[in-house]
C-alpha cells in the first residue's frame, strides 16, 4: 500500500492551492482517497503503483508541492477519512514529506519504507531491504521528476495536446500530425518539442518506477505482489498493469 503526503511549498506567502489540487487528484486515481490533512497538506492512500507515479509527477510539474511517499502496510480496514488512517506506511509518508523538503533545491520527492518496530509503526532501518528498495524507486522518480520540472511552458503545451489526442485516438499513427493541426504549428515543431522535453524518456521510465514501487511494497510487506517471493526481485503485476507509454516518435508519424 502507498500513502502520499503532499505539502504545499511556500504556503505562507501563497494562496491556498489545496482545493484545486484535490480536484485534480480526483481525476488521477481510480480508488485513491485524498483530503486535506492539516494546513496546506494533502494526504491519501493509493493501491496502484502506476497511479502513485502519475500523482507524484503531476504534483512535481507545478513546482508547488513537496511529495512524500510512504510504502508498506496500513491498518485495516481503512477508515473513511485518510486523516484517521494509521500504520507503518502513514508514519513513513510523514518522514518522506519532511525529507522531500530538505531536497527542495533539487526534486522535492522522497520515498520511505514503513516497518514495524517493538510493536509499533516506524520507518524501516536505513540498511534494510525495504529501505534499499524504496531508495531505488526514489532515484528513478527523481530522475523522471527532473524532466517534468525542467519542461518549458511551450513544451508542456505540446505534451498536453498530444496526450489528449492519444487518449481519444485508436493507435498512435498520425497523432503528432493531429496535435500539430490543433496547435497550429508544423509536425516538425511538435517533434522537436517532444524531443527537447524528454517526453519519450519520461514515458519509457514510468513503468520502471511503478515496478520498483511495487517491488518495494512486496519486500516490506512480505507479499508476493510483484516480487514472486516477497524478498526477491522479479517481474510482477505492475509491469502488466502499467498503462502503455504514448508514442513519441520524434521523427514524425506521417
What's the rounded Cα separation, in Å, for the pair 138 and 33? 22
Give the pLDDT score at 226: 45
- pLDDT of 230 > 70? The answer is no
Burial letters 122-139, b for 16+ CB under 10 A, else e: ebbeeeebbbebbbbbbe
Q: Which three cell numbers stand for residue 33?
A: 482517497
Q: What is the pLDDT of residues 33-50, one digit of tens each?
A: 899 988 899 999 999 999
- Given a cut of 90, is residue 205 above it in pLDDT? yes
- Of the listed ranges 56-70, 80-94, 195-209, the least confidently predicted one is 80-94
Mean predicted confidence (pLDDT) in 204-221: 96
- What pLDDT band is residue 173 in, cutting at 50, 70 and 90? low
What residues contact 66, with CB distance under 8 A and at least 6 apart?
A: 6, 7, 8, 9, 97, 100, 101, 104, 108, 109
Give the burial string for 45-61 (b: 16+ CB within 10 Å, else e). Answer: bbebbbbbbbbbbbbbe
What is the rounded average pLDDT for all residues in the chain?
A: 84
Listed by start position, the domains of the chain span 2-151+201-241, 153-197
Does 7 score more than 50 pLDDT? yes
Q: Does residue 246 have a pLDDT over 80?
A: no
Instruction: Reply yes or no on whether the pLDDT at 251 is more than 60.
Output: no
Q: What is the pLDDT of residue 222?
A: 86
Instruction: Please tell me the number of Cα atoms within 13 Å of 172 on its side-chain side.
Output: 11
pLDDT of residue 250: 46
Judge whether residue 231 has pLDDT over 50: no
- pLDDT per residue as tens digits for the range 122-164: 666 777 899 999 999 999 999 999 999 999 999 999 999 999 9
Element (H, E) at 70: strand 65-71
The pLDDT assigned to 86 comes to 85
Interatomic CA distance for residues 164 and 184, integer angstroms: 16
| Contact assessment for residue 123 and residue 188, using Cβ atoms and an 8 Å cutoff | no
Query: What pLDDT is recorded for position 124?
Result: 67
Burial of 4 (0-12, 13-18, 19+ CB in 10 A): buried
Class of 2-151+201-241 per CATH?
alpha beta
Tell whether the model's pLDDT for residue 240 goes beyond 60: no
| pTM across the whole model | 0.82
Q: Is 179 exposed, middle or buried (0-12, 13-18, 19+ CB in 10 A)?
A: buried
Amino acid at each position: 500500500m502507498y500513502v502520499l503526503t503532499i505539502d504545499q511549498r511556500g504556503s505562507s506567502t501563497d494562496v491556498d492551492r489545496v482545493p484545486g489540487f484535490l480536484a485534480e487528484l480526483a481525476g488521477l486515481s481510480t480508488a485513491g482517497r485524498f483530503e486535506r490533512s492539516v494546513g496546506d497538506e494533502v494526504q491519501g492512500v493509493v493501491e496502484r503503483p502506476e497511479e502513485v507515479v502519475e500523482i507524484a509527477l503531476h504534483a512535481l510539474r507545478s513546482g508547488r508541492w513537496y511529495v512524500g511517499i510512504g510504502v508498506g502496510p496500513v491498518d485495516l480496514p481503512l477508515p473513511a477519512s485518510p486523516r484517521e488512517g494509521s500504520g507503518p506506511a502513514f508514519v513513513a509518508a510523514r518522514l518522506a514529506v519532511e525529507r522531500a523538503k530538505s531536497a527542495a533545491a533539487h526534486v522535492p520527492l522522497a520515498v520511505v519504507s514503513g516497518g514495524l518496530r517493538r510493536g509499533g509503526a516506524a520507518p524501516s532501518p536505513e540498511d534494510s531491504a525495504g529501505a534499499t528498495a524504496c531508495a531505488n524507486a526514489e532515484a528513478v522518480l527523481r530522475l523522471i521528476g527532473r524532466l517534468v520540472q525542467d519542461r518549458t511552458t511551450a513544451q508542456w503545451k505540446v505534451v498536453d495536446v498530444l496526450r489528449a489526442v492519444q487518449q481519444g485516438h485508436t493507435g498512435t499513427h498520425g497523432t503528432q500530425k493531429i496535435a500539430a493541426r490543433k496547435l497550429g504549428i508544423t509536425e516538425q515543431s511538435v517533434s522537436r518539442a517532444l524531443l527537447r522535453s524528454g517526453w519519450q524518456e519520461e514515458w519509457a521510465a514510468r513503468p520502471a518506477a511503478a515496478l520498483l514501487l511495487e517491488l518495494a511494497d512486496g519486500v516490506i510487506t512480505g507479499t508476493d505482489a510483484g516480487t514472486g517471493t516477497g524478498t526477491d526481485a522479479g517481474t510482477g503485476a505492475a509491469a502488466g498493469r502499467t498503462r502503455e507509454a504514448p508514442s513519441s516518435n520524434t521523427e514524425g508519424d506521417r
